[in-house]
Amino acid sequence: MLNSAYQFSSIAATELEYGLNIEKRTIFLNGEIEAGDGLFFTQKMELLNRFSINCVEENNPITIIINSGGGDVYAMFAIIDAIRGSKSLVHTVGTGQIMSAASLIIAAGTGKRIVTPNTSLMIHEMSTGLAGNTSLIRANSKHIDQLQDRFVRLYEEFTGKASSFWKRKMVNELYLSAEEALQYGLIDEITYDFRGALTPPEKEEEEIPDEA
């Protein structure tokens, strides 16, 4: 009993401190996405993928649970690359707020992409504050345009809707309900019970016919 309680407290402490539950193969992405979060997320994905070396990918997916208002664009690209490059299938689950960069991260899932019913999503153009002399602003502006084009192309890839569609929608901040996000192709399913939705059905045992 004592060992069981110690094990539970150890798992809970790891989950709270590092946003990682190895037993459930779950990563928690919560709050603002900061510059260092790209590498930290990649490290957690690498750890979980190492536990999958002798496993069948479909039976050992990784789940990313997200509640974020967005954040650093470079960290966002790193997180997306880690998801898309994973050896294991990656489910993405959104709850609460899925804003800005987080909306592209949830759409990047390679398995099921789920939000809970009262989740709000928001998409917009990349934001930046350019400063410096004219030459520096011009160079930075060109780089921002390249990032924005990449941003839009990924929305197209993950949702099946054309880049021109997303460019129109991003002119102003666009807030979406869970149902609207489903229509836009950002997610695949809306449910309270996301763990149940991610549990594969048990295979029925084949009946062996009696020998005559």
Q: Judge whether 18 and 8 are in contact, CB under 8 Å.
A: no
Which residue is associated with the tokens 């934001």? 127
- CA-angle at 156, arms to 151 and 160, nearest 5°: 160
Helix, coil or strand: residue 114: strand
Q: Please give the Cα distance from 177 to 183 (Å, whole number).
A: 10
Instruction: Please pick, among 52, 68, 88, 100, the residue that the annotation labels catalytic.
Output: 100
Instruction: Please pick, among 120, 124, 163, 177, the residue that the annotation labels catalytic.
Output: 124
Give the H or E element holding residue 166: helix 163-169
Q: Is 91 a catalytic residue?
A: no
**Distance, CA of 14 to chain centre:** 20
Please state, in angstroms and as integers, the Cα–Cα distance from residue 64 to each residue in 20, 39, 48, 106, following that order: 9, 15, 12, 8
Query: Checking DSSP bridges between strand 90-99 and strand 113-115, what pairing results, if any?
Result: parallel
Give the H or E element holding residue 62: strand 62-68
Q: Please give the Cα distance from 121 to 88 (Å, whole number).
A: 26
By annotation, the residues acting in catalysis are: 100, 124
